[in-house]
Amino acid sequence: MPELPEVETVRRDLQEHLVGRSVEAVTLRRAEVVRGMAATDGPGDQDICRAVEAGLTGLTVLKAERLGKNLIVGLSDGVTLLVNLGMTGQLFVCDACAELDVHAHLIAELSDGMQLVFRDTRRFGHIELARSESIGESFTLRNVGVDAMSAQFTSRRLAEMLAGRTAPVKSALLDQRRVAGLGNIYVCEALFRAGIGPEVRCDELAHEEVTRLHRAIREVLRESIAAEGTTISDYVTGRRVPGSFQKRLRVYGREGEPCLKRGCRGVIQRIVQSNRSTFCCPQCQRRPETNRGEPS
Ligand SMILES: [Zn+2]
């Protein structure tokens, strides 16, 4: 699923190909991909589709921003389009005559003859129209914490987030309310680079380990952004082409293969943690301290 590097790649493409264009016409085919408008006794499907179409038509794109895994497209008239790609979502700019299937839910015709498309096969992603001045209260952004690539996400901030928590470090890093942007792939990769096992408890981490983990997170995200993200299944950039970081993953998806760390003879293992696959090297990633607190 798209994580920070993939969403950042889409953002950069939108910034380049969308800003200054205006939206001439909009077709929304499925109301269920819209959040923030569908109260139980609220508008029906047709009304939601027409409201989103009318809400976007005629506006000009001003900027494309990002918070965690969420895209924030600022438009004229104080309107912001928020997009979360969920598991299989795609947001791209393509030629108006490009072939689109039934999974293309939102199609916006642009003033330069191109179109902006939101496509999502499994539909865990969503779009939301918000007022630009209050996007912090939107369904999409209200529970999103500090962005993993922002200046606010320092090693000290990470230490504060992890302090005193008994949860495994992997689950803490996946919690978007604290640090936003990391998902399964980059958490596995960062923990591997930092030499920390995914089951190690947050409150077990030494100061030096937190520093190493922070450095590893920034490093893997930066490298993946430079490679335009990881395409394992559906992810495409904002220009509808795959990323290339999948060739450089060191643990994710490498179960049974030799560890790539120099001098390590370990074999990459897949374990299941909170119903999700975790990949790690049992040799060079340290394990949790056992019998903690018990008399020896
Ligand atoms: Zn290893």
In the predicted structure, residue 124 carries a pLDDT above the cut 80: yes
| Other Cβ atoms closer than 10 A to 45 | 13
Question: Could you tell me the distance, in angstroms and rounded to a whole number, from the CA of residue 159 to the centre of ligand 1?
Answer: 25
Q: What Cα–Cα distance (Å) separates residue 197 from each residue in 180, 190, 208, 285? A: 21, 10, 15, 5
Predicted confidence band of residue 44 (pLDDT cuts 50, 70, 90): confident
Question: Could you tell me the distance, in angstroms and rounded to a whole number, from the CA of residue 280 to the centre of ligand 1?
Answer: 8
Give residue-wise pLDDT tens across range 272-293. Answer: 998 999 999 999 999 998 645 4
Predicted confidence band of residue 37 (pLDDT cuts 50, 70, 90): confident
Question: Could you tell me the distance, in angstroms and rounded to a whole number, from the CA of residue 284 to the centre of ligand 1?
Answer: 4
In the predicted structure, residue 294 carries a pLDDT above the cut 50: no
* pTM of the predicted protein model: 0.95
SS3 129: strand
- Active site (annotated) includes residue 276: yes
- Provide CATH code, domain 146-250: 1.10.8.50
For 169-195, what is the mean pLDDT?
A: 98
Question: Could you tell me the distance, in angstroms and rounded to a whole number, from the CA of residue 281 to the centre of ligand 1?
Answer: 5
Name the residue among 18, 113, 45, 125 with its Cα closest to residue 82: 125
Q: How far apart (Å, rounded) are the C-alpha atoms in residues 229 and 5?
A: 5
Give residue limits of the domains in the chain: 4-137, 146-250
Percent of the chain with pLDDT over 70: 96
Question: Could you tell me the distance, in angstroms and rounded to a whole number, from the CA of residue 217 to the centre of ligand 1?
Answer: 18
Q: Which of these is catalytic: 12, 30, 165, 276?
A: 276
Cα distance from N-terminal residue to C-terminal residue, the chain: 44
Q: Domain 4-137 belongs to what topology?
A: N-terminal domain of MutM-like DNA repair proteins (3.20.190)
Name the residue among 241, 245, 240 with its Cα closest to residue 219: 245
Give residue-wise pLDDT tens across range 221-263. Answer: 999 999 999 999 999 999 999 999 999 999 999 999 999 999 9
Q: How far apart (Å, rounded) are the C-alpha atoms in residues 164 and 202?
A: 7
Torsion of CA 5, 271, 196, 247, to 10 degrees: -40
Q: Which of these is catalytic: 11, 21, 66, 69?
A: 69
Q: Tell me which H or E stretch contains 57.
A: none
In the predicted structure, residue 38 carries a pLDDT above the cut 80: no
- Active site (annotated) includes residue 170: no
Question: Could you tell me the distance, in angstroms and rounded to a whole number, from the CA of residue 247 to the centre of ligand 1?
Answer: 18
- Active site (annotated) includes residue 3: yes
For 152-171, what is the mean pLDDT?
A: 97
Give residue-wise pLDDT tens across range 46-96. Answer: 899 999 999 999 999 999 999 999 999 999 999 999 999 999 999 999 998
Q: How far apart (Å, rounded) are the C-alpha atoms in residues 96 and 94?
A: 6
- Active site (annotated) includes residue 160: no
